[in-house]
Structure 1
Amino acid sequence: MHEYSGLSVLIIDPSQHMRSGLHNMLGQLGITRIEHGVSAATAIRHLEKKAFDLVLCEYDLGTEQGQDGQQLLDDLRHHQLVLPSTIFIMLTTEGVYSKVVSAAELTPTDYILKPFTVEVLAQRIARAVDRRTALLPVHRAMEQGRMREAILASEIAGAANPRYATECARLRAEAHTALGEVTQAESLYREILAIRPLGWAQLGLARCQYQRGAYVQALETLRALVDDNPKFMAAYDLMAQTQQALGQDAEARAALESAVAISPHMVRRLRHLGQVALDGGDIEAAEKSFRQVVAKSKYSEFRDPEDHVNLVRTLVQKGDAAGVANVLRDLERSVRSSPASDACKAYSAAMLQELNGNMEAAHTELANAVRAAGEAKALSSGFKLGLAQNCLQHGMDELGMELLDGLAGDPGSGVSESDLTQVYKRAGRGELAQNEGASVERYLDSLVRQAAARSGQGDQRGAIQVLQAAVRRRPENAGLISALASAMLRLMIDSGWESALGEQCTALLVRIRKADPQHPMLAALSSQYVTLRGKQ
């Protein structure tokens, strides 16, 4: 019993009786560092303040909570409020367990079926602590972003603890994915699936296929997964993304609607469904989804003011000025002030003023929105693209291009040059796209100069990172690709062969050969690569 005395525990249960019972059981095991969460919201506030070793969470949090224990776990992991090393045990009934155990991608450490005794609780905690101890070096390395160490640690842990070999393989695949080594991750998932048909491994395989652009293969994998397990919710989300990538927007919407019918509380999924419906021109369906998102977010500590903006955009297309005014009042009332929320309020107000024909007031609010967006850190690229388009449509070119230049200069924005061009076209300002192209070229030139400076200072890895950002902006540019390959080869000539870097360099040389077989640097780079590889 004594070895558990150092554990810190958070109990999440709306029932005072259950919380007291669990508290007493933990006390009998020598555990005294215990805190209580009576709801998802209070649990989140506890976890925002500090980490716990063990979380005991009731699955049925009550209808007033707006979500169940699994959805809370998904939120906590999505927002990184529980560490990979945290023990998360779900408390539930046998009937619920049989429905949820195979359907979740992000599974708890364990389930305990009610009613249970203190002896059962002790056994499950002991099992979880043993697993945590075995995997702790892997989790710690991943938590600190040291993925190479995590891969090695997972190999050691799997060999030393064969009972956790599959879990170690999963962590290894996740580490490879984080490093961008999709091929290695895919191989691991296939090895796991050759032993056992695990849903999370099928999903991992599909994610790898999606990331390398094999959308048809990814869709086949996901369909097989859903056929085997119709309640594996994350499969529907990736299926919709894949179908959108294939231009199958109607099928993507159907996939999301199927998922929402099974699990109606997941806000991120409802948000995605609303956007797909809006893009498809179904205003009524979009309004329904976005209203659900706004309503359900009231139960969440992760309220996003952009959800109100999405609903406003939908109501504007309906011409419902009264509805927009109501949503704007709710936004002002329910979301505390911040640069992000101020940007959302101003953008919504601008759309309302435009709908009412008050163009001068609309221009003032758009300027307010751009100013607030410049100070905000939590606004999506989609929000900024929409705001920029509105500015361009109103002739506020300087503000619109300021937003677009910011997105073009941010490697993490996920915005491509074609995305920017589409904004200009949708705004009816196609003539400005040429200026945007010149802006991107200036940005890329600055990245190349920055990479050269880092290389001159001996920071070859830093130079590689900068060039990788440039290649992401212009993936077809053979000159940038060759510069990146050259930087990788120089690093390995100085520091020794690195398998991951070598594989990336191989892929870059293949891309150069496809883009420009007569590229002046191709022969020299290939010769350097062959010589370096031959020394291994």
Structure 2
Amino acid sequence: MAEYSDLSVLIVDPNPGMRGNLHNMLSQSSISKIDYAVSSGTAIRQLTKKPFDIILCEYDLGNGSGDNNGQDGQQLLEDLRHHKLISPWTIFIMITSEGDYGKVIGAAELTPTDYVLKPFTVDALLQRIRRAVERRDVFLPVYHLIEMGNVRKAIAECKALEERTPRYAIDFARLRAELLFDQQELAEAEMVYQWILMTRPIAWAHLGLARCRFGLQKYPEAQEALDLLLAQNNRFMAAYDLLARTLQAQGQYEAAKKVLEDAVAISPHMVRRLRHLGEVAFETGDVGAAEKAFKQVVAKARYSEFRDPEDHVRLVRTLVKKGDANQASGVIRDMERSLRSGPNVDACRAIASGMVQELNGNMTAAATELTSAVNTIAATRGLSTGLKISLVHSCLAVKLDQQASDLMLNLMNDTDSGVSMDEAVEVFEKAGRHDLAQGMGEQIRVQVDELLAHAAEQRTHGDLRAAVDTLNAGLRKAPANMALLPAAASAMLKQLDDLGWEAPLAEQCQFLLERMRRIDPGHPSLEALTAHYHHTQRKYGISATA
């Protein structure tokens, strides 16, 4: 098997005997470029220095004494994927003798390339490697295009390879759909998943279809698809996570909490799911469930190289809600001891301390801590939108109105925050600060007017696609704005008329018209825009069934 001699392998296993056995097995396949890691931490440090073709990872990364002194293989894989320390073509094979099915399914839902149960033979291991390498080689041209940032060409190459390599046609269609989804071309991705499902009823395709519908805000349709998927396969864990988010989007928080509790009962080791459960439980007022979930998150993430200080803040917030200042202060001390100082940690520590000071009635000290947090936020990277909105509420509680307004305006204008203009106003309205909501509303009106003027100028110069992109960017910030909605629908219809029919754009236009109808059935532009849409359909010979 000389063809494998160029492959590099990282063995992650705390047991020196097992590392030796795996080395011998690999040597029988002429693989000699072998490195070792004895824990998740050393594996991550190795992977930050150089890439590996194959990672063979033991599930149980303890020290053999039964002590919980580090991450397991599942948590390591979660970190590697989330922080993009391994490429899409890295072969990750999980090795386990674990009899606990919940742990095994936890590893499986993180989609390693493969996993093998001990004991296994050299032939069994090499067969898994051979199969994984063959598949990787077929996909490498597309992966390289993605790595170079040429996503459009990668999508086209997937389409071509679907036809040239029938054996992997479904896999290439899946990758094409995922790339389209990542490019926010949700309607087109939805059609690819529908084609896959007509070919073969695969669970991940049902999930992909539901993800597209969720992204298109077709929440009832997404829920229907997920309910059907879980009825057929109640251990498809990612479906629980999306179903919970879908229920949240419809305001059904109690139902979302129940879905997550069911998922945790089946697969109890996924940190992000536990975090999600804690957040939903907190929203429903179930402080006990939130405290339990967040304590598990902090404990399970303790040995990660990527510990998130926000987990401590979430736990402190829950304990403050419970009225337990002593335990909350203990969590802050643990954060200070166990996490290296930096902008993210410093901001989180100040936010948590501000909450505890407010609970204790020390409003001046709370304001001091929260002012420090606001001043540090600008230097942070990757802190969640939820944390920043929580900081806005904390600032309002201690009369830091200007800081709260500035934070909210920055969030609204941050394209990555996901905070719409309407949501920014709603934060202040819910806090009983109509005065601040009015001020935010006035700034929003100015920004919307500027967007409309810019899009109109682009249309005047014949740049129809740019006008549509500008208005879509505005709708992502103000999805219910009744100035942007008709302007965007009109721009889309102009593009369809002048540049040709594009099914995804037409579907998006129809979706915007339906949204207008829900918000304001009597809007003066709605009837004319709807008639224009049907006229454009007839122009291209498309059945006007909408």
Q: TM-score if structure 1 supplies the norm length?
A: 0.88
Q: Evaluate the alpha carbon distance shift between residue 499 and residue 190 of structure 1 in structure 2; reply closer, same or farther with a 3 A threshold.
A: closer
Pick which of 270-279 and 440-449 moved more: 440-449
Residue 20 (structure 2) aligns with: 20
Q: Which residue of 2 aligns with 1:444?
A: 448
Q: Give the direction of change, closer, same or farther, for the CA distance of 1:527–1:383 in structure 2 (3 Å limit).
A: same
How many angstroms does 1:118 deviate by? 3.7
Using the TM superposition, give the Cα deviation of residue 14 of structure 1 relative to its aligned residue in structure 2, in angstroms.
2.0
- Can you list the C-alpha shifts for 1:237-267, whole angstroms capped at 9, x where unaligned? 1121122223322221111112222222211
**For 1:94 and 1:285, how far apart are their aligned partners in 2?**
28
Matched, 1:58 2:62: no
Give the 3 Å change call, closer, same or farther, for CA 200–158 of structure 1 in structure 2: same
**1-side partners of 2:71 and 2:293: how far apart?**
17
Tell me the amino acid that sits aligned with residue 335 of structure 1: L
Report the Cα distance in structure 2 between the residues aligned to 1:194 and 1:495, rounded to whole angstroms. Answer: 31
Distance in 2, matches of 1:281 and 1:386, equals 16
**1:434 shift after superposition:** 0.9
Q: Name the amino acid aligned to 1:288.
A: K
SS of the equivalent of 1:90 reads strand
Matched position secondary structure for 1:413:
coil
Shift of 1:498: 5.8
What is the alpha-carbon distance in structure 2 between the residues aligned to residue 98 and residue 256 of structure 1? 15
Cα 1:102/1:42, change in 2 over 3 Å: closer
AA of the residue aligned to 1:416: S
Task: Tell whether 2:233 aligns with 1:226.
Answer: no
Q: Find 2:80's aligned residue among 65, 69, 76.
A: 76
Are the aligned partners of 1:102 and 1:229 in contact in 2 as well (CA < 8 Å)?
no
CA distances 1:258-277 after superposition (whole Å, capped 9, x unpaired): 22222222111111111122
Shift of 1:157: 2.0
How many aligned residue pairs are there? 535
Q: In 2, distance between residues paired with 1:485 and 1:532?
A: 17
In structure 2, what is the equivalent of residue 243 of structure 1? 247
**CA deviation after TM superposition for structure 1 residue 99, in Å:** 8.4
Letter in 2 for 1:388: V
Give 1:403's aligned residue: 407
Question: Mapping of 1:186-225 within 5 angstroms?
Answer: 186-225=190-229
1:336 counterpart = 2:336: no
Residue 387 (structure 1) shift: 0.7
Other-structure match for 2:310: 306
Alignment of 1:3-42 (within 5 A): 3-42=3-42
One-letter amino acid of the counterpart of residue 242, structure 2: L
Which shows bigger deviation, 411-420 or 451-460?
451-460
**Distance in structure 2 (CA, Å) of the matches to 1:416 and 1:265:** 33
Note if contact 2:275-2:297 (Cα within 8 Å) is conserved in structure 1: yes
Deviates more, 1:4-13 or 1:502-511: 502-511
Segment of structure 1 superposing worse, 5-14 or 420-429: 420-429
1:323 and 1:264 map into 2 onto residues whose CA distance is 25
Q: Tell me, yes or no, if structure 1 residue 124 matches structure 2 residue 128.
A: yes
Is 2:522 the counterpart of 1:518? no
Provide the C-alpha distance between the structure 1 equivalents of 2:313 and 2:343, rounded to a whole number of angstroms.
15
> CA 1:448–1:126 in 2, change beyond 3 Å: closer, same or farther?
same
Q: Which moved more, 1:83-92 or 1:525-534?
A: 525-534
| Equivalent-residue separation in structure 1 for 2:293 and 2:100 (angstroms) | 27
Distance 1:158 1:81, change over 3 A: same
C-alpha distance in 2 between matches for 1:135 and 1:466: 35
Q: CA offsets, 1:428-450, max 9 Å, x none? A: 32232111111222233444456
One-letter identity of the residue aligned with 2:115? Y
For 1:378, what is the secondary structure of its paired residue? coil
TM superposition shift of 1:306: 1.0
CA contact (8 A) 1:332 1:345 kept: yes
Deviation at 1:295, TM superposition (A): 1.4
C-alpha contact 1:173 1:189 (8 A) present in aligned 2: yes
Q: CA deviation at 1:500?
A: 4.5
Which of 174, 178, 181 aligns to 2:178? It is: 174
Give the equivalent residue in structure 2 for 1:327.
Answer: 331
The aligned amino acid for 1:76 is L
For 1:369 and 1:189, locate their aligned partners in 2 and report how far apart those are by CA, in whole Å: 44
Between the aligned partners of 2:504 and 2:264, the Cα distance in structure 1 is 39
1-structure distance, mates of 2:382, 2:180: 27
Decide whether aligned partners of structure 1 residues 253 and 469 sit closer, same or farther in structure 2, where only a CA change above 3 A counts: same
Q: Secondary structure at the match of 1:108?
A: coil
Letter in 2 for 1:274: G
SS in 1 for 2:10: strand
Kept after mapping to 2: 8 A contact 1:104/1:233:
no
Instruction: Give the 3 Å change call, closer, same or farther, for CA 208–152 of structure 1 in structure 2.
Output: same
- Following superposition, the deviation at residue 140 of structure 1 comes to 2.9
Give the letter for the 1:376 counterpart: T
SS at match of 1:375: coil
TM-score scaled by structure 2? 0.86
Q: Tell me by how many angstroms 1:357 deviates.
A: 2.3
| Pick aligned residue for 2:189 from 161, 185, 188 | 185
| Pair 1:109 & 2:113 matched | yes
Match of 2:544 in 1: none
Q: Report if the CA contact (8 A) 2:105-2:267 is conserved.
A: no
* Structure 1 residue 397 displacement after superposition: 0.9
Aligned partners of 2:106 and 2:269 also within 8 Å: no
Greater shift, 357-366 or 445-454, is seen at: 445-454
Cα distance, 1:450–1:105 mapped onto 2, change above 3 Å:
farther
Equivalent in 408, 432, 438 of residue 434 of structure 1: 438
User: Structure 1, residues 20-62: CA drift from partner, whole Å, max 9, x if none?
Assistant: 2222332333323322222222222222333322222223334
Please tell me whether the aligned partners of residues 315 and 321 of structure 1 are also in contact (alpha carbons under 8 angstroms). yes
Distance 1:532 1:345 in 2: 61
| TM-aligned CA distance change 1:297 to 1:172, over 3 Å | same
Which secondary structure state, in structure 2, belongs to the residue aligned with residue 268 of structure 1?
helix
Structure 1 residue 482: Cα displacement? 4.9
Q: Say if 1:172 and 1:294 are closer, same or farther in 2 by CA, change over 3 A.
A: same
Code of the aligned partner of 1:263 = S
Which digits, 9 at most, give the CA deviation of each residue in 1:100-137, with x for residues without a partner?
A: 47984442222334334444433332222221111122
Aligned residue type for 2:95: L
Q: Which moved more, 1:287-296 or 1:363-372?
A: 287-296
Which of the pair has the greater relative contact order for Cα pairs under 8 Å at 6+ separation?
A: 2
How far apart, CA to CA, are the structure 2 residues paired with 1:384 and 1:242? 23
CA RMSD of the aligned region, Å? 3.3
Distance 1:194 1:493, change over 3 A: closer
Distance 1:8 1:311, change over 3 A: same
Give 3-state SS (helix, strand or coil) of 2:381's partner. Answer: coil
Which string of whole-angstrom CA distances, capped at 9 and with x for unpartnered residues, describes residues 154-188 of structure 1?
22222222221221121122122223333333343
1:2 lines up with 2:2 in the alignment = yes
Letter in 1 for 2:47: L
After TM superposition, give the deviation of residue 370 of structure 1 in Å. Answer: 0.3
- What letter is aligned with 1:235? A
Asked if the contact 2:497–2:536 (Cα under 8 Å) also holds between the matched residues in 1, the reply is no
Local SS of the residue matching 2:525: coil
Q: For residue 345 of structure 1, what is the aligned residue in structure 2? A: 349
Deviation at 1:196, TM superposition (A): 4.1
